[in-house]
Structure 1
């Protein structure tokens, strides 16, 4: 099945069909347009006032041996050349920016019934196969698949409704400290009370793993000569003491009458 809209284009152009390759060019043109391209005219040279259109330009079929059409988007331009050689149509499309080229050779008699050039419902043979062939050999290599084009467009536009001033939504499960930051005040910022501690700064980074200090090595480590008698500095145990929650009690906290 051909892309929707081809029948309307065919009705506008079929009066000028005189060779079997004419409706084939019409089919190829509409597949390119349906893939997001517009036609910017015929010939290799761009005009001063080229405007993209879904229709074929005037005079596109004047040369039955070589069809030359220009296509593109706002950011890219493509040149299509279709050469007729002994019953075949050699289709060549080049990306003018990257100079990437894709080509395809079609047996005209396999896809077009030359006895019904003006009858849309009878002129095309195996339109579904022709459409798949055009997309796999010409359109996808140049433009990417439909899914790839959609993903690329969404990436250029950015996330929908993204407001740079909006605060990101809270992660389910409570406040999470950003990686690499010390959790000072995390308990006061967590509305669910999932943390302990308070606003007291912990110079020993309580709660984090750290190497044990060998008291026999002196301070700084290595300051005691080997074999020397040395009373270890202390108290040093398996872990450094954390801050005492009562270091900064509120005024009168121990007054039973308050």
Structure 2
């Protein structure tokens, strides 16, 4: 069992109240002495719980006075409270402690503000004060007290739940104990972090444990018909054929007349954007073979300037599709003449054999 487990605290808490014998022997007939053995209110219960926590951690009660000039050290066997411990309650409670692992004197002052309880603690030799603020109704049952009662209900019924008790202990440990006595060593005790239990350190800490999830990055979709300003921007894959015929919204598919030679809606026959199921001479899979050097895409950047290159196409010579000039054809230089040279493509070298009977083309190969 852990040192500050709720069941362990509730077991020891009644043993810290003044006994009936001690109260009867002090100022017989005094109402304050008789009330010392009774937990009269939720404020009494939480103040007694604070004293129980410190007792479990080996803090030794030395006085119930907050007077700085009162340096008397009194003896309280087993840290049992005197009959006057709640004489000023439920407005305020005062406890003074010493600890064997520190040379400091610790003063705990508990003040009631309506339904809230402010727990202040300090070392009298220092100028630092630690505070822990709680709502009494969050941890205690308002209509249960006083205890013991004539109904003999167990003390655990005076608190909301064991988990709420754990929350109170956690907040008191983080806000008070670990700041007054850091590195406290005690069997069954371990220091905790404020992030270990978000709902324990106070009402505002529960929101800190729920961090917003990072937004997913947004990648805008690209319209294939949109021109890219940079030559290095991605281009449509010219080998995709017929995808727009499956578009039911009319981008060259079922919503309108089918484009001719891969053209999109509203384009002239022989369009060059690709995507249709009809592949014509101006389809990008052919056109992109002869794109400008330096462009990224199929065939782009493959021919360095000045290199010898034999263009391959099904419709003509080295120029655009359909341009005459293939050996044996009727080019601008006459039968068998060479076609116009494309920029940066070097001197075309026709290595294929001329058609039968075409000596001009054959001679041209060996010129």
TM-score (normalizing by structure 2)? 0.37
Structure 1: how far apart are the matches of 2:121 and 2:137?
Answer: 22
Match of 1:178 in 2: none
Residue deviations 1:187-210 (CA, integer Å, cap 9, x gap)? xxxxxxxxxxxxxxxxxxxxxxxx
CA distance in 1, matches of 2:37, 2:73: 27
Give the SS at the match of 1:144: coil
Check if 1:101 corresponds to 2:139: no
2:161 is aligned with 1:123? no
Task: Work out whether residues 42 and 69 of structure 1, in 8 Å CA contact, stay in contact via their aligned partners in 2.
Answer: yes
Cα distance, 1:58 vs. partner?
Answer: 2.9
Query: Please, which runs of 5 or more residues in structure 1 have no aligned partner?
Result: 151-258
What's the RMSD between the two structures over aligned residues? 2.4
Shift of 1:56: 2.2
Q: Is the 8 A contact 1:3 1:31 kept in 2?
A: no
Compared with structure 1, are the counterparts of its residues 105 and 5 closer, same or farther at alpha carbon in structure 2 (3 Å cutoff)? closer
Give the deviation of 1:23 after TM superposition.
0.8
Q: How many residues matched?
A: 149
Kept in 2, the 8 Å contact 1:9–1:55? The answer is no
Offset of residue 76 of structure 1: 1.9
Query: How far did residue 105 of structure 1 move?
Result: 0.7
Question: What residue is the counterpart of 1:133 in the other structure?
Answer: 171
Post-superposition offset of 1:50: 1.4
The yes-or-no answer on 1:50 pairing with 2:54 is no
Contact 2:131 2:175 in 1 (8 A): yes
2:62 and 2:73 in contact (8 A); partners too? no
Q: Flag the 1:49–1:139 CA change in 2: closer, same or farther, 3 A.
A: closer
> What is the alpha-carbon distance in structure 1 between the residues aligned to residue 94 and residue 73 of structure 2?
18
Structure 2 unaligned residues grouped into runs of 5+: 18-35, 148-153, 188-367
Partner of 2:45: 23
**Cα 1:124–1:11 shift into 2, 3 Å:** farther
2:73 equivalent to 1:69 = no
Structure whose CA Rg is larger: 2
CA spacing shift, 1:54–1:12, aligned 2, 3 Å = closer
> Given the alignment of the two structures, is residue 7 of structure 1 paired with residue 11 of structure 2, yes or no?
yes
Asked if the contact 1:111–1:130 (Cα under 8 Å) also holds between the matched residues in 2, the reply is yes
- Alpha-carbon distance in structure 2 between the residues aligned to 1:144 and 1:2: 22
Alignment of 1:148-167 (within 5 A): none
Counterpart in the other structure of 1:163: none
Q: What does residue 39 of structure 1 align with?
A: 61
Question: How far apart, in 2, do the equivalents of 1:73 and 1:146 lie?
Answer: 10
C-alpha distance in 2, partners of 1:48/1:28? 22
Q: Which has the higher contact order (CA 8 A, sep 6+)?
A: 1
